[in-house]
Structures are given as structure tokens and as C-alpha cells.
């Protein structure tokens, strides 16, 4: 089965379920069939690490520049993103390194909007990664990070004066 990795739409979420079943029928009923190998898993983790580094790069100027409760909330998210970096690095068995990242606006409000966009992209990447991780414990870790990233996106929307949960699938639709 081939489902392109870029982004998820509501239709694709629905279709993915149907396609999954079709593949199950075509491939037989065994569990563990066609599990991703270690090399493929490593490549997935490297991609997620780069996504997370881009989020940190965008959130840092907002966290440092915003005052009061908004600044505290942004700094809390930034601290949690660094935990995500550490968790992904631990899974890869390599120390986290600062990856080059596109330029981020120095104005905190603008940086916040960029951080939200990168959070949403990172969330899509985490969800997309799940079927490509053969290790069950690692899938749980990625799901825990994905859930936190979904929450972060909701918090950033609140900081930008928007609704926390504007749609059913966390912006993936």
C-alpha cells in the first residue's frame, strides 16, 4: 500500500482506514507483516528531529520576546520541545545537534505565527511517521510527542487570539 506522506486531509484520514483494511486482506492476516526495518526507522526519526529543531528555532524568539503570562506559556512550550528533542535523540542514539533552520522573524508576535505553522507541520509529520515505526515502544513515544505537539498548537492559537481546537483533526484536515 502506498499513501503519500505529505500532509493529511480528512478524506485521507478516512481513506487510510479503508486502505489499511484492503492491504490487510491482500496481504493476509498476520501481525507484524512488512514491519519497517531499523534503517527506515532511523531515517524517520532523523526527519522528526529536524522538524522538532525547526520548531525550537521558531519558538525561541517568541518565548524570549513575549512578556507576562504569554511569555511564560511560550517558554514552557519551548522547554517541552527541548524534551522532545532529547527523546528523539535518545531513540536515535545520538546527541541532539542544532540543525540549520529557515530564518525566523525577530518580532515575537510574528515568530509565534511561524512557530504555529511549524508545529502544525511537525504534528502532521509525527502522525505520518507512526505507520513507519516498527518498534511499539517507539510508536508510543512518538504518539506522546504528537499529542503534546497538538496541545502546543492549540496553546499557540490561544496566544494568537484564535480558537484552541477549530477542527476535529487538529489542523490535519
Partner 1 sequence: MNLVGERVLWHFAEARTDTALTRAGLWLEQLAVLSYARAAEVLTGDARALAERFAAHEREHAAAMESALQGLTVSARNRPVGVDVDWHLPGLGDGGRDHTLAQLAELESWLLTGYQDMGRRVGELELLRTVGGVMAGGAQHLVALRAALGRPLAPHALERGGAAGLSG
* Site for partner 1, rule CB under 8 A: 1, 3, 8, 10, 12-25, 30-33, 35-36, 73, 76-77, 79-81, 83-84, 87, 123, 126-128, 130-133, 136-137, 139-141, 143-155, 158, 163-165, 167-170, 172-173
CB of 70 to partner 1, least distance (A): 12
Residue with Cβ nearer partner 1 (68 or 100):
68
Closest CA to 158 of 74, 92, 96, 45: 74
Residue with Cβ nearer partner 1 (114 or 150):
150
Cα torsion 102, 107, 112, 114 to 10°: value is -30
Residue with Cβ nearer partner 1 (113 or 173):
173
DSSP 56-116: HHHHHHHHHH--HHHHHHHHHHHHHHHHHHHHHHHHHTS---PPP-----SSHHHHHHHHH
CB of 45 to partner 1, least distance (A): 16
Compute the half-sphere exposure of residue 68: CA atoms within 13 Å on the CB side of its CA. 2
Residue with Cβ nearer partner 1 (93 or 136):
136
Amino acid at each position: 500500500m502506498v499513501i503519500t506522506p505529505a500532509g493529511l486531509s480528512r478524506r485521507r484520514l478516512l481513506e487510510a482506514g479503508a486502505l489499511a483494511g484492503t492491504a490487510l486482506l491482500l496481504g493476509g492476516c498476520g501481525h507484524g507483516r512488512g514491519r519497517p526495518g531499523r534503517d527506515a526507522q532511523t531515517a524517520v526519526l532523523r526527519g522528526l528531529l529536524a522538524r522538532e529543531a525547526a520548531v525550537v528555532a521558531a519558538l525561541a524568539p517568541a518565548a524570549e520576546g513575549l512578556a507576562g503570562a504569554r511569555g511564560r506559556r511560550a517558554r514552557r512550550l519551548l522547554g517541552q520541545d527541548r524534551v522532545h528533542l532529547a527523546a528523539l535523540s535518545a531513540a536515535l542514539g545520538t546527541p541532539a545537534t542544532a540543525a540549520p533552520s529557515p530564518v525566523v522573524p525577530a518580532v515575537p508576535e510574528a515568530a509565534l505565527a511561524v512557530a504555529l505553522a511549524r508545529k502544525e507541520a511537525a504534528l502532521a509529520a509525527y502522525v505520518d511517521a507512526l505507520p513507519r515505526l516498527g518498534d511499539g515502544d517507539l510508536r508510543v513515544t512518538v504518539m506522546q510527542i504528537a499529542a503534546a505537539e497538538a496541545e502546543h498548537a492549540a496553546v499557540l492559537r490561544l496566544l494568537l487570539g484564535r480558537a484552541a481546537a477549530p477542527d476535529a483533526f487538529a489542523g490535519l484536515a
